[in-house]
Each structure stands twice: as C-alpha cells, then as structure tokens.
Structure 1
Amino acid sequence: WLFERMTALAREITRVLVVEFSPEEVLRRLSDPFWFQAFGCLLGFDWHSSGLTTTVCGALKEGLRGLEKETGIFVAGGKGRTSRNTPQEIEGHCNRIAVEPAPLIYASRMAAKVDSSALQDNYQLYHHTFVFIPQGEWCVIQQGMNSATRYARRYHWLSEGVKDFCCEPHSAICCDARGQVLNMVAQESQGARDSVAALARAEPARVIAEANRIAELDLPQRHHITAADLNTQRLHKVLLRTYEQGPQTFEGVLGTPGVGPKTIRALSLMAELIYGEQPSFQDPARFSFAHGGKDGHPYPVDRE
C-alpha cells in the first residue's frame, strides 16, 4: 500500500514541477543528492535506508508510466535484472517519439562502465536508472553496495554537467564511508588515462612482455595495485581487441567490449611503472547524511 501511495505522490509532484518549471529542471533536481533524499522522505520512505534510492526511482518510473508524452520525461532501468533492460527500454521510448536512441544508450552504458570499472571503490552496482527528455538531456541515478561493510553508495550524473565521460563526470557521489580507491576519472589522473590509451593501442606482444617483467617486481606496500593484478593471459586477449580498434582516448578503451575493472587495474599499474603516470587514489565521495532514521542509524536524530 505504501508503494502505491509513493507512486501517486511521485507522479503528481513531477507533474507540478514540469508545469511550474520544466522537464529539464526535473533532471537537475534528481541529480541533486540533497533534493533527491528529501524527495524520498516526502514520499514516505525511511531517511537512512539504501532502499530509498531504488524505491524512489521505481515509484517515479511507475508514476510516469503512460504520462511520458504529457510530462516529457522518460524513465528506463531499475534494480538488478531490470537495469540490464535499460538499452531496450530507451530504444522503445525513442521509437515512439522519433528520437535517435544511440547517444542516450551510449550515455547510459558509459555511466555504468565508469562507476564499475574506471572508478573502483569496492561498491558493486546493482541499480541503474536513466531519466531523459526528448531534447536529449538526461540524468543517471545508480547505486552500488559494498558487500563487506554493507554500506551503499549512490552516484548522480547530469548530462549538462558532463563535458567528458572520463574526467570528473559526476554531479555527486553519496556515501557515509570513504576509503582508498582507484579513481581513473579524477582530473589528476589525466596522464594515467593518456598512458592507458597508449598501451591499449600498442602491439600486444610488447605490452605483455612488459607485463611479465612487472610481474617479477617486488613492489612496495604503498602500491594499491599490485603485480597480482596482472593476469597476462587474460590481458593479452583484451589487448588484441583494443589493438584492432586503436582507441585514441581512455574513453575509447573503457568502451571496448571485454574491458572491465581487472583490465583497467592492470593497465593503470603499467602506466605508472612505465610512464611514471600515477592515477588518483582519492575517494570522490563528497556527500553523506547528517543523521539517520527513526532507529538512529547511521546517526541519531538530534531532537534538541
């Protein structure tokens, strides 16, 4: 019964926002972590629960179902297996309004690829919602879970703020815990990104020869990526593909089928040891919650 009410309320709030402001403003607000969290609270969900993200996105998707042309807002994706249907859902919406789906599908795919491979923070993505308007603007709300700490992390993207998918693309990242991460999308990782692209274009046999030499090194403990990350047999298969495609940028490397977290870790280690280009290990999460829900987690509510 609660979700039905959340769906109805999400629908009416969105309709008011469209009338009073614009569909573009709805995208901006969804990409604002403070507004999104307040929106979830207004809909009736617990303040602190990681389920707020999936439930709010689900309520928004269901609430706007059948009203896409009226509101000018289209929602695709969701939690778990539903997230894998995002490209097909985007294409279906676009076919009905005569909009080219390829750029939107690419944006959805790259947002997921960045937060699972280029930004390696130990949070496994399990939710991906893509919201767009016919003019081509979009926002992404996706979430990952750290299986060890049971903390969730939410990632916000807004198209008007994305100048480069692989350089500071997020509008916000929210989490109550921070740690040491491999952040290949940080501004200071530009040299590492260029070096990774150079390695991906190089003749695979030469790269693997260097990888074999690195595997024999006794790296100091300060290295957060170790020689154990170099699986030369698997790396060789991926490099054959990147060599054929010849990506000129890190984004091109990341978009190559078969390139995942392990490939990026291996190439970033090689980029540092061969070219001296160290990636960033700074956690980009900047937002957390000041207090929790009725049960006092993660922090008690200050009643004074």
Structure 2
Amino acid sequence: MARRSGSADLPLHHGRVPGWLGQRMSRLGAVICEAIIHHYGREELLRRLAHPFWFQSFGAVMGMDWHSSGITTSVIGALKRGLAPLSGELGLHVCGGRGRHSRQTPFELQQIGARTGFDGDALAKASRLVAKVDSAAVQDGFDLYLHGFFVTDDGQWVVVQQGMNGDGGIARRYHWQSEGLGSFVEAPHAAIDGESQGRIINLTDARAAPSRDGQVAILRDVGPDAIVREYTALERGRAVPALSPAQLALPHLVMPAHHAVRPKDVLARRLHGALAAAADRAPHDFSELLLVPGVGARTVRSLAMVAEVVHGAPYRFSDPARFSLAHGGKDRQPFAVPTKIYDQTISVLKSAVERAKLGQDDRLAAIARLDRESRRLEGLVEGPSLEEYVREEWRRSAEYGGRSVFGWERDELADSNEPSKQATRAN
C-alpha cells in the first residue's frame, strides 16, 4: 500500500457520541482489529489505519456519521478504549486523542516504551515533530486539535491527526506512517485528507527543499536583516525560479456536506453483491453461524460489510457511505442504529476470533468466504435500490432495536393498535 494514499473533504460536525453507541464502537472496533491482526498481522492493520478511505469506511461501519469529521475523533477514542485491555496480547497501543489528551501523547509513549522495550523518548520526539510539521511546516489554514498515535511493541507506528478550519466548516485529516519514512521534513505523510483551500505553504513538499535550506542558511549566516532585504527584492518584482514538475495527483475522496445517504454515494453493484452473498450463500456456508441464538439474515448482511472492512482491498473503500448500511448512524442517517443487529454482529465476530485463538478458524474462515462471495457476485446480481433498502430498514427499525441520539424508534403500527393509544387520540 502506498504511503501517500489520497485525500478527502470532511465536513465539520459537532456533538458527542452517546454512551450506548460509544461502548458498542469500542467493542466492534477492537474485534475488527483483532480479526485483521489474526489474518494479516499488526503491520497490515497499521497500513489500513494510514489509509484515509479505509479509515472513513471503518468509522461508518461502526455507526458513526458516515461523512463527517467526527469519525476521526470517535474511531480513535473507541480504539483507545477497546484495545487497551488487549494491548499486551496484541502488542498494539493507542495514545493521544482530542484536546488535552493529544498533549499527553509523549508521556504515554514514554510509559509504554518503559514496559515494552521500544525507545519511548524517540517516539515521543516523533510525536512532537509530526504535530509541528502539520501545524507549522504545512500552513494550510487548519488548526490541529486532535492527535492519535498507534504504535506496536516493535516500534512501528501510525499517526492520525486532524485540523479544523472553522470559517470554512471543513476539517482536514493527516495520516503518517513510520513504514518507509526517511525524513520528517520531506514528503512524510501517508496521506492528507481535506478540501483544497487554494494556495498553501507546504514546506514538507520535496520541491521545497531549497526553501528549507535557504531559510536555515539565512538565519544562521546573515540574520534577520537579510530576510528584510530578500522580501524587499521580491516585492520589486525579482524573477522567481520555476518550480519542479508537480507531484502526481492522488485519489481524492469527496465527503459531501449533505447528511443523508443518497444513491450517488453508494456503488450499487457492491451493495447488491453483499446482499446476494448473505441471502444465497448463508444457508450453505454459515449454518454454524446461523445457529447462534438471534442471528438471522439481517445480521449476516451486516457481517458481509464487516467482512469487507477486514478483508477488502483499498480500492473497495471509495464509497464509505455504503458501510453505513450495516449499522446505520447515531443521527438516524441513513437510519437509526439497529442495536440488536449491532450486538449480534459483535457477538458472532467475537466468538469467531476467540475460537481462532484456540486454533479453530472455521467461523473466521466463513466470514472471509462471505467477503469473497460478495466480490464474486458483484455485477452479476440485481437487488433493491438504495431507497428501497433504507425504507425497509426504517419499517423494521423498532424490531431491530433502532436507537439514535433522538431516542428509541417506535413501532407506529403497534402503537396505533393499542386501545389506550386509540382512546387517547379519541379524547
């Protein structure tokens, strides 16, 4: 996976994740990470976290607002809580967070380093340098307010941090990865997420090396007076050397301002592939999973999307909105979070991971086959439109334990048939 993997626009959203969802996000996020580490290793999980498309899809499948900047804060917070009890077993640690928590990152790294043996002081310095580069060397109009540091026992790491442009209502997320990192000051990012805000100052660009060297030389050799003379000469129209050829364009994920999930936000063929795999193959490949109490076809549909988060290739995360169809969203977009389905998904995946730890990979292998079947059927089957899918979810929301920041969803048909409700309306 390339270190620099793309960009995205992230509308600023305010508000907090309710406790009932935050707890579920921690549990589901942790068990997904366990599954990825079991199949592919810790280094692959770090590569996923450094990929902005996957990171957004990961947050969406956990029931967070699929398009917003809040995914960054909530995912880092959920993983910090969910992975803490597993850090010794997995050899993976999450430091930092938002606001005052971000400033504790160097101290946390030093503490973990003392326990595990990696150089905590060196990584604390790396944390400070990363934050300094994105706040000073890349002057793009975004003020950093979040810094998350993922580190393994052998000292490999990923940083995900985010800045805010309050006037524009946009957040920009920056991804760093230690794998292949040669310099903190020359093109170090794994990726930068955010809407273009016009001309910016990026002193980490490879083309800016002469500028960095020149600034240091001026300050060292001739002092501030030379800076004034240089500025005056530029103002008088002195010719400026041409820039080197531009770097290759990166994939750009556009997170729209609208909150509702619309048909253009979802690749229908991928959705139909997942639905067909869940409907057609579940009775054959998932008989053992379906024997778990309460697990039915709706849970298998969610598991198909979770399976893709675990096994999918990078190109499959270009439409993060699709993953919100697994467990909805806390603001009822595209529908209220189906808590019963969510809990069953966690239970099945957790059981599969626990059995795999004992050498019984049958359930994890079944989930992997579900992902493969989804990809095989993609483009070969038809299914409901997005509107029909969402309408059915709303119709059964109360049955699924639908819940949002607005409260529990109610069964309007059942309510209308209750004599007490009819009498109340009559009065």
TM-score between both structures, scaled by the size of structure 2 = 0.53
- In the aligned structure 2, how far is the partner of 1:299 from the partner of 1:173? 27
How far 1:88 sits from its partner (Å)? 0.6
**Aligned amino acid, residue 169 of structure 1:** P
Task: Decide whether the 8 Å contact of 1:183 with 1:283 is kept in 2.
Answer: no
Change (3 A) 1:94 1:279: farther
Select 2:111's aligned residue among 63, 71, 92. Answer: 92
Q: Structure 1 residue 72 and structure 2 residue 82: aligned?
A: no
Q: Structure 2 matches for 1:219-298, cutoff 5 A? A: 219=235, 286=250, 288-290=252-254, 292=256, 295-296=259-260
- In the aligned structure 2, how far is the partner of 1:110 from the partner of 1:141? 13
Unmatched segments (≥5 aa) in structure 2:
1-19, 267-385, 388-427
Change (3 A) 1:71 1:279: farther
How far 1:293 sits from its partner (Å)? 7.7
Secondary structure of the 2:190 match is strand
- In the aligned structure 1, how far is the partner of 2:247 from the partner of 2:171? 14
Partner of 2:183: 164
Partner of 1:210: 226
How far 1:286 sits from its partner (Å)? 4.5
Q: Structure 1 residue 301 and structure 2 residue 265: aligned?
A: yes
How far 1:55 sits from its partner (Å)? 0.5
- In the aligned structure 2, how far is the partner of 1:72 from the partner of 1:108? 19
User: For residues 113-171 of structure 1, what are the alpha-carbon distances to aligned partners after superposition, in whole Å with 9 as ceiling and x for unaligned?
Assistant: 11011111010000000111121110000000012202000000110131111111111
Change (3 A) 1:298 1:150: farther
Task: Decide whether the 8 Å contact of 1:137 with 1:160 is kept in 2.
Answer: yes
Task: Decide whether the 8 Å contact of 1:97 with 1:134 is kept in 2.
Answer: yes
- In the aligned structure 2, how far is the partner of 1:110 from the partner of 1:277? 29
Task: Decide whether the 8 Å contact of 1:191 with 1:277 is kept in 2.
Answer: no
Task: Decide whether the 8 Å contact of 1:132 with 1:139 is kept in 2.
Answer: yes
Identical counterparts, % of pairs:
39
Select 1:57's aligned residue among 76, 80, 96. Answer: 76
Partner of 2:149: 130
- In the aligned structure 2, how far is the partner of 1:175 from the partner of 1:299? 23
Partner of 1:34: 53
Partner of 2:326: none
Across the aligned residues of Structure 1 and Structure 2, the Cα RMSD in angstroms comes to 2.9
Q: Structure 2 matches for 1:78-157, cutoff 5 A? A: 78-157=97-176
Structure number with higher relative contact order (C-alpha < 8 Å, ≥ 6 residues apart):
2
- In the aligned structure 2, how far is the partner of 1:285 from the partner of 1:4? 39
- In the aligned structure 2, how far is the partner of 1:190 from the partner of 1:297? 43
Task: Decide whether the 8 Å contact of 1:75 with 1:132 is kept in 2.
Answer: yes
Secondary structure of the 1:162 match is coil
- In the aligned structure 1, how far is the partner of 2:60 from the partner of 2:104? 28
Secondary structure of the 2:265 match is coil
**Aligned amino acid, residue 43 of structure 1:** M
User: For residues 211-237 of structure 1, what are the alpha-carbon distances to aligned partners after superposition, in whole Å with 9 as ceiling and x for unaligned?
Assistant: 3435656827x9xxxxxxxxxxxxxxx
Change (3 A) 1:155 1:72: same
The aligned length equals 248
Unmatched segments (≥5 aa) in structure 1:
223-272
Task: Decide whether the 8 Å contact of 1:181 with 1:283 is kept in 2.
Answer: no
Secondary structure of the 2:67 match is coil
- In the aligned structure 2, how far is the partner of 1:126 from the partner of 1:191? 30
Change (3 A) 1:163 1:298: farther
**Aligned amino acid, residue 301 of structure 1:** D
- In the aligned structure 2, how far is the partner of 1:285 from the partner of 1:105? 32
Change (3 A) 1:187 1:290: same
- In the aligned structure 2, how far is the partner of 1:299 from the partner of 1:120? 36
- In the aligned structure 1, how far is the partner of 2:192 from the partner of 2:97? 18
User: For residues 228-254 of structure 1, what are the alpha-carbon distances to aligned partners after superposition, in whole Å with 9 as ceiling and x for unaligned?
Assistant: xxxxxxxxxxxxxxxxxxxxxxxxxxx
Task: Decide whether the 8 Å contact of 2:137 with 2:201 is kept in 1.
Answer: yes
User: For residues 12-50 of structure 1, what are the alpha-carbon distances to aligned partners after superposition, in whole Å with 9 as ceiling and x for unaligned?
Assistant: 111111111111111111001111111101111111111
Task: Decide whether the 8 Å contact of 1:121 with 1:283 is kept in 2.
Answer: no
Select 2:28's aligned residue among 9, 28, 46. Answer: 9
Partner of 1:254: none
**Aligned amino acid, residue 45 of structure 2:** V
